[in-house]
Amino acid sequence: MSEKVIVFLHGTNATSWTLDPIRHFFEAEGYTCHSPVYRFHDLPEGEERTQALKGVSIADYVADIAAFIETLEQKPIVIGHSLGGLIGQLLSARELIEAGVLINSSIINGTVPTTEMERALGKMFMSAGPFWEDVPGQDFDLLAAYGLNTMPVEQQHDICDRLGTESGQVLFELFFWMYDVNQTTRIDFTRATAPLLFLSGSEDKVVPPTTAKTMADRYGTRATFIEVPGRCHYMQLEEGREKLAQHCLEWIRAL
């Protein structure tokens, strides 16, 4: 068989640039890499993007990536960050991937917050009105506290300035899976048999290790969970990310 193919899946409010450092590492190692962008995320900020993103679901992103994967000659490995990690799990349940590396994956249906900061974030969304009908952007203070908290302030601003708006429906499905009538993030564990590597930054406040571990444990021996010391939610952009990429490479080579 030819060299393994890797598909990189980005998180909310982002595009593929958030995984470029890891992709460049794997390309240098000779891997064929693809970085698809979720629908409408390549549109510039403005009314067209806002109207296009309203009501868009995680299920739409999964359908788009599934269609892309079906154009490939072999099942790929996915490396997903945040929402991309969740989408990787949903693709596994559709038997479309060989394996998945999940960097601070967003939670799946049935995963309960384990920290007060997670619960506070949920309460904040509750107080924001019907955000699922809107297309929220990034709040710097919130992002700095939850997702970029181990980075220098200058880098925090740089990342926040490059992130965009996101479908409120997507955020609703992420944070309030218990009220989602479509159960969008529910995993069929009888079909999700691909090996998964869960990488969890010890300082991630969005999906802290205590929560990520409960999610990984639901896969039993199919999942490997590793807590990465001193790293935040966007750890693939932090200084020293080469070590993180090397760890991913070693796990993939051992498959």
pLDDT value of residue 3: 79
What is the average pLDDT value for the chain, to the nearest integer?
Answer: 97
Give per-residue pLDDT as tens, 105-117: 999 999 999 999 9
Range of the domain at 16: 5-253
Domain tally for the chain?
1
Residue 119 Cα distances to 202, 207, 208, 240, angstroms: 18, 11, 12, 30
Give per-residue pLDDT as tens, 156-184: 999 999 999 999 999 999 999 999 999 99
Measured torsion, CA atoms of residues 56, 59, 61, 62, in degrees rounded to the nearest 10: 180
Average pLDDT over residues 140-166: 98
Chain-centre distance for alpha carbon 49: 21
Name the pLDDT band for 1 (thresholds 50, 70, 90).
very low
Average pLDDT over residues 144-155: 98
- Look at phi and psi of residue 218 and say left if phi exceeds 0, alpha if psi is from -120 to 50, else beta: alpha
pLDDT value of residue 59: 98
The yes-or-no verdict on residue 2 having pLDDT over 80 is: no
pTM metric for this prediction: 0.97
The proportion of the chain whose per-residue pLDDT surpasses 90, expressed as a percent, equals 98
The yes-or-no verdict on residue 47 having pLDDT over 80 is: yes
pLDDT value of residue 155: 98
The residue with greater pLDDT, 199 or 1, is 199
The residues, ordered by sequence, that sit 6+ positions from 224 with a Cβ below 8 Å of its Cβ are 195, 196, 197, 198, 216, 251
| CATH number reported for the structural domain that contains residue 150 in this entry | 3.40.50.1820
Query: How many other C-beta atoms can be found within 10 angstroms of the C-beta atom of residue 243?
Result: 9
Average pLDDT over residues 179-195: 97
Average pLDDT over residues 94-100: 98
